[in-house]
Structure 1
Amino acid sequence: MKKYAYIGSLGFVGIITTEFGVIGILPQIAEHYGISIDKAGYLLSVFALVIAITGPFMTLLVSGFDRKKIMVTAISIFVLTGVVSFFSPPFWLLMLVRVLPAFLQPVYIATALAVAISKADKEHENELMGIVFSGVAFAMVTTVPFATWLASMWSWEYSFLVQAIVSIIALASIYFVLPPMPVKEKKSYGSQLKILTKPTFIVSTAMNLFMITAWFSTYSYFAEYLNKAKGMDNTMISYMMLVFGVIGLLSMKVAGKMLNKNVTKTTAFFLSGTILTPILLHFSGGNTFATILVIGIWGFLYSPSFLNASTYMISSVPGSLEFANSLATSFGNLGVTLGTTIGGWIIMTKGVAYNPWIGFVFGVLAFLMIGIRSLLELKTQSKMSK
């Protein structure tokens, strides 16, 4: 039922605006608190690390609860975060309220996906999951650049106000439109944990980790990179985030349809951006028009990364959607943490212009994991045919 998918997507807009809304304002936050850019990056990396560590456990813990109540609770905490952050509290408190919603983010995503496909035919599942994940691209096209633009016009606190308002709208939609959705049959913990023993799932998890690390080594410092390496001001950067998001919205629709045909080829196609983007950014040099074109390609190939990672992992264990997706979210966010941390270290030691090449290295590792999984699947098929 598409209505449920769109409601899940709206909640995703609130979540992504909160998690990634700081990307465009990290330099301003660093300046306000008198800290280095890599320390400001903790607002992103620690958020992602909490998701990585607690995500699967939280999903297992609440797997028997009413799905509507889970979604309402999760988004309520995102509202609280936006409101408190707007008042520019001390940095330790800003960090604390950023961390709180991270505990329930993977729970929300896994639940929203389960709700979206709860009444769908098997052949339409990936398309509905694509609608839910389109909330990522929609946030990148609207709320994230708008929040960055507001921050460039007034002050960084207004970015958090946008986050709070978006989360309130999402909360109202879930509360008033979604019916109660109690879980009729709770799966045992043992049956869900069994997927951790499957080699194809383990390799798929590594692919997810390497792919997201590749993208976020540069994307986490999007504003810093465009400012220092490409000479753009805050207003121009907000426009670039808009271009990035508009293209991304289109690519989410394309990816959803492509995934219905072939999950592995689709994942590999979009992963190619981790190799292509650093090369194109290097050769675009100081040419603004060429850089804008590269940002469009970057946005197109990056935007479905979380959708591709989740679908790729779930395709190796199709019977365990919620738990597999929570692991996909956790390892994806571990990739965000790893990419942001390595990216911050490179900025402090070498300079931000080198960051895209970290993506190149981790992109190659991700391609290697796709190759290993394909070999494992061929082995399994040949054994079954004997």
Structure 2
Amino acid sequence: MNLSINKKTAYIGCLGVIGIISTEFGVIGILPQIAEYYKINIGTAGYLLSLFALSIALTGPFTVLYASKFDKKKIMMYALGLFLISNFFSIFNPPFWLLMILRILPTILHPAFFSMAIAAATKDTSPQMQMRLTSIIIGGIALAQVTLIPFTTFIASIYSWRLSYGIQGLVILVTLVITYKFLPPMPNKEIKSFTNQLNILTRTKFIVGTAVNLFLITAWFCSYGYFADYLTKAKGLSAQEISYMLLLFGIMGVMSNLVAGRLLGKYMIMTTVFFIAGTFLVPFAFQYTNNSLISIAIVVSFWGIMYGPCFLIGVGHMVSAAPDAKEFANSLQTSFGNLGVSLGTATGGWFINQFGISISPWVGIGFGGLAIIMTLWRAWLDRRIHDSKEIV
């Protein structure tokens, strides 16, 4: 595969991620409306996010191990097809239990899309180019927060929350057509044994990197999962103002994601610690600002900057510890990242139900502390490996 095809694959993968992540996280902006429509509390509505993520966490590694035997292009198309079906039927305001099933349906191949896209885009490239191409694909997460998520939230505030599913489905459909027309077949010519790939689970460095990924994303989703509800009830913003804040949040996330992508390859530990620090600083920023739109916008901007690279940081820590099993490592990053989404959303929802929405920004601090500890442990392991090589 030549570099032009690698880049084409990365950008198509990025477009697919925009549609997929908008389906996964776009519900954050419309949770208050869904809760009102179905006459349920916000914590129960939050299951639409947490159970989606939990399903990915539980099934992801197994589906990716199985899917890795097949043509990468076909797996990417099957994944997009499931998301298209999910979005289409969600438009028709089904009962809440059916909406939940439709949400869970595409999680079967969610991690496989990420793994296949990254593996296809980075095939036969240098380590530095691999991180750049990976950052393009993962950058779709931040781009979704700039484009589809705030746009669908804005449309939902004017018309209906159901329209957000229609818009997300349209983007998925366009990506599906582009993937079919412009990506070449990508048959798997090198079938790796399950045993060799599973061996990475015994590496301390990989386990620690997994913990960094899990705790960092959990810390952020204790609060980000209830972004709209917090800004509505605690800060008094309207639905349209929240859509503007989501747009601002996403723009800051895109910029910080690009910067972090360049820094992680050179200063992984320092970059990680810097962005984890945001989980401690954002709650204080909200605590000591008034409810003016300008001050809220400043804090939301800072929040977006610090949150933006969290998924990329997870990829960096886990894939760098398993260069010989990248597809499986990517799938585990997606699975444990989504476990963090589920754990963070569920934890945040429990505290909100017990103590009110104002507690939301503070819940993630404990997980942020655990992420710091794991990062320092990773630094110690890297140093020990480096010293042992020098002695040899």
Which of 370, 381, 385 is 2:386 aligned to?
Answer: 381
Alpha-carbon distance, 1:374 to partner: 1.5
- Equivalent positions of 1:278-293 (< 5 A) are 278-293=283-298
Look up the match of 1:295. Answer: 300
Counterpart CA distance in 2 for 1:211 and 1:270 is 9
Q: How far did residue 380 of structure 1 move?
A: 3.0
Contact persistence 1:278–1:359 (CA under 8 A): no
Match of 2:108 in 1: 103
Give the corresponding residue for 1:71: 76
Match for residue 346 of structure 1? Answer: 351
Question: 1:8-42 CA deviation, whole Å, 9 max, x = no partner?
Answer: 00000110010001000001101111111111000
- 1:336 aligns to what? 341
CA contact (8 A) 2:260 2:271 kept: yes
Corresponding letter in the other structure for 2:348:
G
Separation in 1 of the partners of 2:335 and 2:231?
28
- Report what 1:122 is aligned to: 127
User: Equivalents in 2 of 1:199, 1:11: separation in Å?
Assistant: 33
Distance in 2 between the 1:120 and 1:17 partners?
Answer: 29
The answer to whether structure 1 residue 176 and structure 2 residue 181 are counterparts is yes
The gaps in structure 1 that reach 5 residues or longer are none
Select 1:309's aligned residue among 314, 320, 324. 314
1:50 counterpart = 2:55: yes
Aligned partner of 1:87 in structure 2 is: 92
Q: Distance between the aligned counterparts of 1:287 and 1:360, measured in 2?
A: 25
Q: How many angstroms apart in 2 are the aligned matches of 1:126 and 1:323?
A: 16
What percentage of residue pairs aligned between the two structures are identical? 49
Q: Return the alpha-carbon distance in structure 2 between the equivalents of residues 134 and 375 of structure 1.
A: 29
Shift of 1:259: 2.1
Shift of 1:276: 1.5
Q: Which amino acid aligns with 2:309?
A: P
Secondary structure, counterpart of 1:261 in structure 2 = coil
Give the superposed CA RMSD.
Answer: 1.1
Residue 242 (structure 2) pairs with residue 220 (structure 1)? no
User: Counterpart amino acid of 2:152?
Assistant: A
Q: Does 1:133 align with 2:130?
A: no
- Given that 1:127 and 1:260 are in contact with CA atoms closer than 8 Å, whether structure 2 keeps it comes out as no
Matches of 1:335 and 1:74 in 2, distance apart?
22
1:248 paired residue among 253, 265, 270? 253
Aligned position for 1:363: 368
CA distance in structure 2 between the aligned counterparts of 1:206 and 1:303, rounded to whole angstroms: 19
Which of 187, 205, 208 matches 1:203?
A: 208
8 Å CA contact 1:230, 1:286 repeated in 2: yes
Q: Name the TM-score, length of structure 1 as normaliser.
A: 0.98
Paired positions, count = 386
Letter in 2 for 1:322: E
Identify the residue that residue 19 of structure 1 maps to in structure 2: 24
Corresponding position of 2:3: none
Partners of 2:259 and 2:24 in 1: how far apart? 24
Query: Is the 8 Å Cα contact of residues 269 and 376 (structure 2) preserved in structure 1?
Result: no
**What's the CA shift string for 1:188-224, capped at 9, x where partnerless?**
1011000000011111111111100100000000000
Match of 2:69, SS state, is coil
| Structure 1 equivalent of residue 325 of structure 2 | 320
TM-superposed CA distance for 1:291, in Å, is: 1.3
Match of 1:145 in 2: 150
Secondary structure of the residue that 1:316 maps to in structure 2? coil
* Alpha-carbon displacement from aligned partner over 1:64-104 (angstroms, at most 9, x marks no partner): 10000000000000000110001111111100010011111
Query: For 1:123 and 1:22, how far apart are their aligned partners in 2?
Result: 35
- Read off the aligned partner of 1:253 and give its amino acid letter: L
Gaps of 5+ in 2: 1-5
In 1, Cα distance between the equivalents of 2:271 and 2:115? 21
Mean CA deviation greater in 271-280 or 22-31:
271-280
Report the alpha carbon displacement of residue 361 of structure 1 after superposing the two structures with TM: 1.5
Letter in 1 for 2:356: G
On the 8 A contact 1:130/1:255 being kept in 2, the answer is: no
Q: In the alignment, residue 111 of structure 1 is paired with which amino acid?
A: M
Shift of 1:281: 1.4
Describe the superposition over 1:333-352 as per-residue Cα deviations: whole angstroms up to 9, x where unpaired.
Answer: 11101100011111111011
